[in-house]
Amino acid sequence: MFEDVKEYSHLIVTPPLQLANMGIEGPLLVYLSEDNLGVYLNKNKADRYEIKVYDCLSGKETTKNVNDLAKILNDTRTDNIVEVSKTPKEAIVKQVHAIEASGYTRLYDALVRGISELDNIKKRFPACRCRILCLTDGNDFSSMSNPVTIARKLMDSNIVVDAVIVGKADNTVLHGISYVTGGYCFKPENAKVALRLFETETVLSMELRAERTRVPVSSIKTEEDLTKIFATHGYNERPEIKLPAQITEKVARTENVLKKKIRESKSGRFMEKDKRILEELKSLHCDPHPYCSVYPSETDLTFWRIVMKGPPETPYESGTFELYCQFGHDYPVKPPAVRFCTPIYHCNINSVGRICHNIFDRNYSADVTMREILDAIYGLLILPEADDPLDSILAEEFLTSKEIYEQAAKDDTAINAHQSMETIEKQYIGESDVEVPPHLVCPLSGNMFIDPVKAKGGYVYERRAIEEHLKTNNNDPVTGKALSCTDLTQDKNMKKSVVEYRTSQLEETDG
């Protein structure tokens, strides 16, 4: 169909930078955003980069800058080397499918061409971080360029090379070039590994990567300087994610941070965002999530560590997972960033901890509470949403081989998430010195109640503790009488007493 359509030039979407050329006459189609098509009418005679377009969504004429459009659309072509029928992504796919082997693989010459193209891009967008993604069988034939010279040029130009070698060949020179430019070299074993690689955030975005130590340009003098790197570093699995700076800072108990921050808030120096975060923290202190503990940073209220216990009767029940929450400048208009630090085998959580749930996008509003966000994440561990995955390989496994998926998740949890909540809490804040009234303490867990339930004998227990006990014992731990989960009922009076006590912990500054 496209072959028929391209005979009519007015139906082909034009790259935005091409509209800056002299002699371009409308009407022509141009993307104003990924989901909005406009019609180019004419250009500003005083400024060739300013164009007048008809916005098809608003039904109004407007003025756009082609450089801004190119940046928004990530389409910096100034000609029709790649024909665009719909979007740049679709055009690239079409172009790749049309490529035919011609007998030569001038790998290093291709890198030189890449440097030239990116130099042109940097002239237009000086702040742009540049990268070459080299997909290759690993072989080089007939290149005229010297790899050492290329490596030094890439380093001088601050261009990163990520290489993906497909096939049996090894190329330690290309691996070395990737390493010295701050990039990564991958060699996926099969199509599934390759697919997962290209779904990895830190492969797709350099902004999310942890900084790598750069090699001085002066140290790369011979080809051996490139090839010897492979012996100590080898191929990469994935780039490490850049963690927030606050991840290494000390955290504290919620009541300690709340007392300090409530006192500060009375001075009138608090922004609305900080007041909202304070409200969320206070709510979780007075009525904690039964399977999640929150530990705010001692020095930065916008950063929390979170410890989540795996849900019962799931592959994650024996595990404890560490997460972090970071509230951005635009919170609560935009959701906080919440990620897993502990690796987890889950189709909605990727290898660098990102969580895919609609509460972070289409279902988010400024009214959504942190309790609701924690409930949503916890719910994913109970029931994955395989129809909306971050890891398509795991989603397919969940849908087609659920038993295999769940066993793999269980095995992974045993390896990566085996520490208890109590152990992690001690690592965070040390031994507890808080004196809690004895009647508010669970006789089974030794901790203050969060979700108290009453057994038929009249004794009150923490729900999680007694349910764990009843997995191996069918009796009341105090009376010794027969007991099952169906004999447990929520103790609202104890719950009320606990909330009142937790609230009273803040009365010193909240009264």
Span 244-296, pLDDT tens digits = 999 999 999 999 999 988 888 777 677 889 999 999 999 999 999 999 999 99
Which of 384, 323, 309 has the alpha carbon at shortest distance from 348? 384
DSSP 448: B
Contacts of 439 (CB under 8 A, 6+ apart): 497
Portion of the chain with pLDDT greater than 90, in percent = 66
pLDDT for res 7: 55
Q: What is the DSSP string of 133-171?
A: EEEE-S---S--S-HHHHHHHHHHTTEEEEEEE-SS---
Least confident of 225-239, 263-277, 448-462: 263-277
Round to whole Å and give the CA distance between 171 and 107: 11
pLDDT for res 6: 52
Torsion of CA 255, 258, 259, 265, to 10 degrees: -170
Residue 228 vs residue 65, higher pLDDT: 228
What integer is the mean pLDDT of 218-245?
94
Phi/psi class of residue 78: alpha, beta or left (left: φ > 0; alpha: ψ in -120 to 50)? alpha
CATH 3.30.40.10 fits 438-510, yes or no: yes
Least confident of 26-40, 64-78, 146-160, 430-444: 64-78
- Which residues are paired to 50 by β-bridges? 65
- Which residues are paired to 160 by β-bridges? 131
pLDDT for res 54: 87
| Sheet strand arrangement including 130-136 | 130-136, 159-165, 185-186
Tell me the pLDDT tens digit for each residue of 177-223: 999 999 999 999 988 889 889 989 999 999 999 988 889 999 999 99
User: Residue 322 in contact with residue 272, Cβ under 8 Å?
Assistant: no
Buried b vs exposed e over 280-318: b needs ≥16 C-beta within 10 Å? bbbebbbbbbebbbbbbbbebbbbbbbbbbbbeebbbee
Is pLDDT of 510 > 70? no
pLDDT for res 291: 96
Round to whole Å and give the CA distance between 189 and 212: 25
pLDDT for res 271: 84
Give me the phi and psi of 293, to 5 degrees please: -115, 140
Is pLDDT of 511 > 50? no
pLDDT for res 2: 45
Residue 203 vs residue 8, higher pLDDT: 203
CATH code given to domain 107-233: 3.40.50
Query: Do the first three CATH levels of 247-421 and 438-510 match, i.e. the same topology?
Result: no
**DSSP 3-state of 354:** strand
Residue 388 CA: distances (Å) to CA of 349, 380, 392: 11, 11, 9
Contacts of 358 (CB under 8 A, 6+ apart): 364, 388
The gap from C-alpha 336 to its chain's centroid, in whole angstroms, comes to: 12
Torsion of CA 311, 315, 319, 321, to 10 degrees: -70
50 band by pLDDT with thresholds 50, 70 and 90: confident
**What is the architecture, at CATH level 2, of domain 247-421?**
Roll (3.10)
pLDDT for res 84: 46
- Sole residue written with tokens 């930065």: 300
Neighbours of 409 (CB within 10 A): 24
Round to whole Å and give the CA distance between 344 and 324: 14
Q: What angle do CA 331, 336, 340 make, to 5 degrees?
A: 170
Round to whole Å and give the CA distance between 154 and 442: 63
**DSSP 3-state of 199:** coil
Tell me the pLDDT tens digit for each residue of 68-115: 888 787 776 655 554 544 455 666 677 777 777 666 789 999 999 999
Structure-block tokens of residue 113? 């061409």
Tell me the pLDDT tens digit for each residue of 388-417: 999 999 999 999 999 999 999 999 999 999
Which of 416, 291, 294, 292 has the alpha carbon at shortest distance from 346? 416
Per-domain residue ranges of the chain: 2-97, 107-233, 247-421, 438-510
157 band by pLDDT with thresholds 50, 70 and 90: very high
Q: Report the sign of the C-alpha dihedral through residues 173, 175, 176, 181, in that order.
A: positive
Is pLDDT of 315 > 70? yes
Round to whole Å and give the CA distance between 373 and 314: 20
**Which residues are catalytically annotated?**
356
User: Residue 446 in contact with residue 377, Cβ under 8 Å?
Assistant: no
Average pLDDT over the chain, rounded to an integer: 89
The length of the chain is 511
Contacts of 335 (CB under 8 A, 6+ apart): 359, 360, 361, 364, 368, 373
Tell me the pLDDT tens digit for each residue of 342-370: 999 999 999 999 999 999 999 999 999 99
Give me the phi and psi of 85, to 5 degrees please: -100, -35
